[in-house]
Structure 1
Amino acid sequence: MAGNVRSFGAQQVAMTTSTDTYAVPGVGAGLLDVYRRRYLLKLIVRKELRVRYRGSVLGLAWSYVKPLVQYVVLFFALGIVLRVGDQIPNYALYMFSGVIVINFFSEAFSNATRSIVSNAALVKKIYLPRELFPVASVWVAAVHFLPQLVVLLAAALLSGWKPDIMQLIGAALGFVIVAVTATGLGLLAGAVNVFFRDAENIVDMLMMIVTWTSPVLYDWTMIRRLAPPWVLVIYQLNPITVAVELFHWAFWYPTVDRPVELPPHLMWTGLIGLGMAALFLIIGQLVFRRLEGHFAQEV
C-alpha cells in the first residue's frame, strides 16, 4: 500500500514537471512571434496580393501604371495649369517625392486598421499571432511602394539626379520611419477597430490631415513664416513630416540647380523621428496585446 502511494506521488510530480514546459494557450511573444513565423507572414502577404489582383489583366503592373499616371496628372494640373510650384524649382519631382511617402503611409495604416476585422474567419477558427495581419498590411503597402519608387527614380534621373551617400541613407531612414510608424499605429487602430468600427472613419480623416500637414504640396518655409517657432518645432517632430523631408533631400535636392533652404539638422531630426516611430510601435504593441484576447468574440 505504501509503495502504491509513493508511486502515485512520483507520477504526480512527473506530470507537474512535464506540464511546466507547456506555454499557456493564446499567450504569445507579440512581434517576436511574427519573426518566428515569418513563413506565415509570407503566405498572408502573397494571399493579399493575389486577392487584390484577382481577375485583373495587368495584375501587379497596375502598381506601375497608377503612380505614373498620378505623377503626370499632378505635374500638369498643379505644376503647369495652377502653377502652384512657381516658388519651388523642379516642383513635379518635389511633389512626387513627398506623395509616394504619403501613399505608402496611407495604404499601410488604413489597411492595418482593417486587417483584424477583414480576417475575422481566421481569427475565429485558429490561433496564430494576430500581429501578423497588421504587419502583413504594411508589407503589402511596401510592395506597392516599390513601383512608385521606380517612377520617382526615373523622373529624378531625367532631371540630373546625383545624390551622395548621406542622402541615400536619409531616404532609407525615411522609409524605415514610415514603416515603423504605420506598424505601430496600425496595431493600435487595428485592435481598437475590433471593438469600435468608427476607428476606420477616424483613420480616413487622419489621412487627409496628414496629407495637408506634411510639406508635400508646399515648402516647409511657409510654415516658418506663418507660425511661431514652437509650432515649427512640433511640426518637424511629426515622423511623417520628417520622412517626407528626407525624401526631398534624397531625390529632389540633388536635381536643383540653385540654392534652396532645407530644414535644419535634418539627419538629427530623422533620428528623433525614428525614436517617435519606435514609441508608437511600443504603444501599439502594448494596446494590441491587452485587447487581442477578446478578438475572436468581437469580430
Structure 2
Amino acid sequence: MTVDVQDAYRICETITRTEARNFSYGIRLLHPDRRAALSAVYALARRIDDIGDGDLPRDAKVAALADVRRSLADPGASPDPVLVAVADAARRLPIPMGAFEELVDGVEMDVNGRRYETFDELVGYCRCVAGSVGRLCLGVFEHRPDPNAPGYADALGIALQQTNILRDIREDLGNKRVYLPRADLERFGVELALDAHGDLVDADGGLAALVRFAAQRARGWYADGLRLLPSLGGRSAACCAAMSGIYRSLNDRIEAHPELVRDRRLSLSGREKAAVAVRALVGSALHRRPAGGAPS
C-alpha cells in the first residue's frame, strides 16, 4: 500500500499537536515545510520513547525497539506514514538519521533498568535520549555552517533532559526508575523513597538540596547549548528558543522551589508557555540575520 507523502506529514503533525505538550509551542513557529519535517522527526522519536514507557513486557519492548532499528535502515521502503514522512524529510534536509539509532540505544537503557553511578554516566544516557533529538532538530533548522553547532545542539538536549529528570523524580521512582547518580545521592545523604501517600520522603531537606544543586548544574548546560542560536535563521532560532525557553523556565522554577518536586509534577501553564514562544519569536525578529541551509 502506497502512502501519499503529504498525508504522511499530516498524520505526523496531528501526532505532534496532540502529544508534544512543550515542543509544539516551538514547532508551530517554523515555516510550513520545516514544521512538517520536524513533526515527522518528533513523531518517530515519540514512537521510540513510547515503547520504553509503555506497558509491554520487557522482552516485547526489546523486540519492538529492534523492529524500529531495522526500519531505520530503509525508512522509505515502509508503508508506515511516520517512516514515509521521515524518509522524505531526510531526502530534503541534512537530518542525521544515525541519531535515531542513538535514541533507541538510550531507550534500551531504560528498558534494561540501568542506573548511573556518576554524573558523567548520566550525561551519556542524556546524550542518547535527548542530545540525539537536539541534533535531529538541527538537521531540520535553517542555519549557517558552524562546526560547533552539533555540539551545542547536543548540549541543549542534555540540558532539557536534566530538567526532565528533576521534574519526574517521584513519578520515575514509582515506576522503579532512578536517574539521579549514586554519587550525588551519597553526597547529599539521600535515599530515595516514597511515603504512604506516594510522595518523596525528604525529612532532613537533603533531597531538596540535591535537586537545587542539580538544577544549578543544568543551567550551565543550557548556557552552552544556547550558543547555537546565533547560527540559526529567524524562524528556526525562534523555534529553538521557545522549546528550550520553556524547559529553562521550568528548571528555574525547580531551582527556586526544589521541595515542590516531592509531591507534584511541576509544569508551566499554557499561558506561560505561549508567552515564552512569543518572546522567542519577537527576539528572533529583532536579531534576524541571514542563514544558510536548505531553502525554506
TM-score for both structures, normalised by structure 2: 0.30
Higher helix residue share: 1
Larger gyration radius, structure 1 or structure 2 = 1
Q: Which has the higher contact order (CA 8 A, sep 6+)?
A: 1
